[in-house]
Amino acid sequence: MRIGLVYCPIGSGFASFGKTHWTSKIHPGLCSISAYAKSRGHEDIQLVDLRKLTGWDHFKETIRKRRFDVVGITMMSCDFNRAVKAAQIIKEVNNDTVVVTGGVHPTVAPAEVESCDCFDHVIVGEGEISFTNLLDSIRDGRAENRMITGIHPNLDELPFEDRELFDYSVTTRFATNFPGLFKPPSVTMIASRGCPYHCRFCAPHATTMFGDKTRFRKVESVIEELKLLRSKYHFNSLFFWDYSVTLNRKWLQEFCESYARNGFKARISANSRADAICRNEDLMKDLSKVGLKMVHIGFESGSQKMLDFMRKGSTVEQAIKATEICKKHGIIVRGLFMLGLPTETREDVQATIDLIRRMKPQVYSFSYFTPVPGSYFYEYCQEKNLSLIKSHDELADYGPSKPKIKGVDYDYLKQAVEEAHALQFRSRLIGKLVRFVHARVKRGRLRYILIWLFSKWVEIKNRWRH
């Protein structure tokens, strides 16, 4: 059988390959599904990456030429319309092609996806085993249910991701985010699945997708994959895409020791949490020694009232202490803040600006709260008729640009974002420019140059202070 996997990220768009920092990223789920299916004998698997196509006519012609027997389409909630459009075109070209969809949105909103008759099968949850079992059934002529529940795999029994599905030798050489800090070639790594926290703007996404427990790969598995990536791609930068790299203290200790012992020199970027950093200062020191250059921390708000409302599970005091710990060990802090949540007042917004003024994280960015399907706050906004989201497409933009819910003074938030960035540059004009670039300029040479200059400036300033 000839099998196609379709990647349709609306946030990047048609003809965007090579034009944004997202070019350096792959879809790990598709890569893992491809690797597992190939290990079970389904060798003829090809990617259709909409970033490399000029439009829907180009997509239709590609589908016509490749003559797939089965096509799998992954989708997040923001990709829904595009995934449906792709499936409809596939059926238009050849109605006998079996179209399968899976990913986050089919998992958190299965009824909506099930209602689309362009999908022959819908996989809810993790897809490696279930998709491959479905391929076996199609090949052997056995019937399968339309709605299929995914099977949680043992992560150490999965083959390494099939990164060459995305032509990885080319992809790794494109500029990363913060190009002045992280030089290509760059690679990504996922060492765990799941998240134990219950932030209401996100949860229960991780539980719905990956189950109640966070599962970690063995350290030796991660190290072996990194050895392979080093020999093939000679990477300079390593991006961990786990929800938080500091969830498992024992695992992290073992990783730091093994990573150093095997002579890796790449700069590392990873996600973490303020409370976890406060509990593990010694590990942050160890991570810094082996190459952790930037940590992304979701501080969200400077108002304890808002942190409690969103069930963040951390405090303002922990945010301050975590930033101090990272700075002490030469780790650049990228603070992530969310404005425009339900019930947020001007005083809460000002508390966030005051926190930034006090912490002075080297990098920070803002998003406007967006009610994402499958989250607690999505249901909250539906019940109270707060959402201004009219299309799944609008879910792709978390930046401080468009209004998302009723009852929020977005003009005030715009001023707050500019004020916050002005703290960093001591200029309201530059603060406005930063907000504009972050919210409006999604691709192109201007964005790259500005971000490169900014990230290089951050590195120099951090090195001088440390």
Averaged over 216-225, what is the pLDDT?
Answer: 98
Q: What is the pLDDT of residue 25?
A: 83
Domain that holds residue 141: 3-155
SS (H, E, C) the chain: CCEEEEECCCCCCCCCCCCCHHHHCCCHHHHHHHHHHHHCCCCCEEEEEHHHCCCHHHHHHHHHHHCCCEEEEECCHHHHHHHHHHHHHHHHHCCCCEEEEEEHHHHHCHHHHHCCCCCCEEEEECCHHHHHHHHHHHHHCCCCCCEEECCCCCHHHCCCCCHHHHCHHHHCCCCCCCCCCCCCCEEEECCEECCCCCCCCCCCHHHHHHCCCCEECCHHHHHHHHHHHHHHHCCCEEEECCCCCCCCHHHHHHHHHHHHHCCCCCEEEEEECHHHHHHCHHHHHHHHHHCEEEEEEEEECCCHHHHHHCCCCCCHHHHHHHHHHHHHCCCEEEEEEEECCCCCCHHHHHHHHHHHHHHCCCEEEEEECCCCCCCHHHHHHHHCCCECCCCHHHHHCCCCCCCCECCCCHHHHHHHHHHHHHHHHCCHHHHHHHHHHHHHCCCCHHHHHHHHHHHHHHHHHHHHHC
Same domain, 114 and 230: no
Q: Which of 89, 123, 155 is the last residue of a domain?
A: 155
* Residue-wise pLDDT tens digits, 72-96: 999 999 999 999 999 999 999 999 9
Determine what percent of the chain is predicted with pLDDT higher than 70.
93
Looking up residue 188, the CATH number of its domain turns out to be 3.80.30.20
30, part of any domain:
yes
Same domain, 141 and 187: no
168, part of any domain:
no
**Exposed/middle/buried for residue 465 (C-beta within 10 Å: 0-12, 13-18, 19+):** exposed
Cis peptide bond prior to 185, omega within 30° of 0: yes
Higher-confidence position of 2 and 245: 2
* Residue-wise pLDDT tens digits, 385-422: 999 999 999 998 877 778 999 999 999 999 999 889 88
Read off the amino acid at residue 381. C
Q: What is the pLDDT of residue 66?
A: 97
Looking up residue 51, the CATH number of its domain turns out to be 3.40.50.280
360, part of any domain:
yes
Is pLDDT at 441 greater than 80 in this prediction?
Answer: no
Same domain, 76 and 200: no
CA distance 330 to 177: 19
Same domain, 193 and 131: no
Question: Is residue 10 within 8 Å of 72, Cβ to Cβ?
Answer: no
Same domain, 200 and 130: no
How distant, in Å, are the alpha carbons of 35, 199, 346, 422 from that of 353? 46, 21, 11, 11
Averaged over 234-257, what is the pLDDT?
Answer: 95
Is pLDDT at 425 greater than 80 in this prediction?
Answer: no
Q: Degrees (nearest 5) of the Cα angle 28, 108, 191? A: 30
297, part of any domain:
yes
Q: What is the pLDDT of residue 78?
A: 93
Averaged over 230-247, what is the pLDDT?
Answer: 95
64, part of any domain:
yes
163, part of any domain:
no
CA distance 212 to 464: 44
Q: Which of 94, 137, 118 is nearest to 1 (CA)?
A: 137
Same domain, 30 and 145: yes
Is pLDDT at 443 greater than 70 in this prediction?
Answer: no
Same domain, 188 and 326: yes
Same domain, 179 and 150: no
266, part of any domain:
yes
165, part of any domain:
no
Averaged over 57-61, what is the pLDDT?
Answer: 98
Same domain, 448 and 379: yes
* Residue-wise pLDDT tens digits, 106-116: 999 999 999 99
Averaged over 301-313, what is the pLDDT?
Answer: 98
Same domain, 247 and 385: yes
CA distance 50 to 69: 19
How distant, in Å, are the alpha carbons of 84, 150, 186 from that of 130? 21, 5, 31
Overall number of domains in the chain: 2
Across the chain, what does the average pLDDT equal?
A: 92
SS (H, E, C) 146-157: CEEECCCCCHHH
Read off the amino acid at residue 178. F
Cβ count within 10 A of residue 289: 13
Same domain, 65 and 179: no
Q: What is the pLDDT of residue 426?
A: 66
Q: What is the pLDDT of residue 432?
A: 67
Q: Which of 125, 155, 185 is the last residue of a domain?
A: 155
* Residue-wise pLDDT tens digits, 339-374: 999 999 999 999 999 999 999 999 999 999 999 999
pTM of the predicted protein model: 0.92
Same domain, 232 and 136: no
Question: Is residue 72 within 8 Å of 6, Cβ to Cβ?
Answer: yes
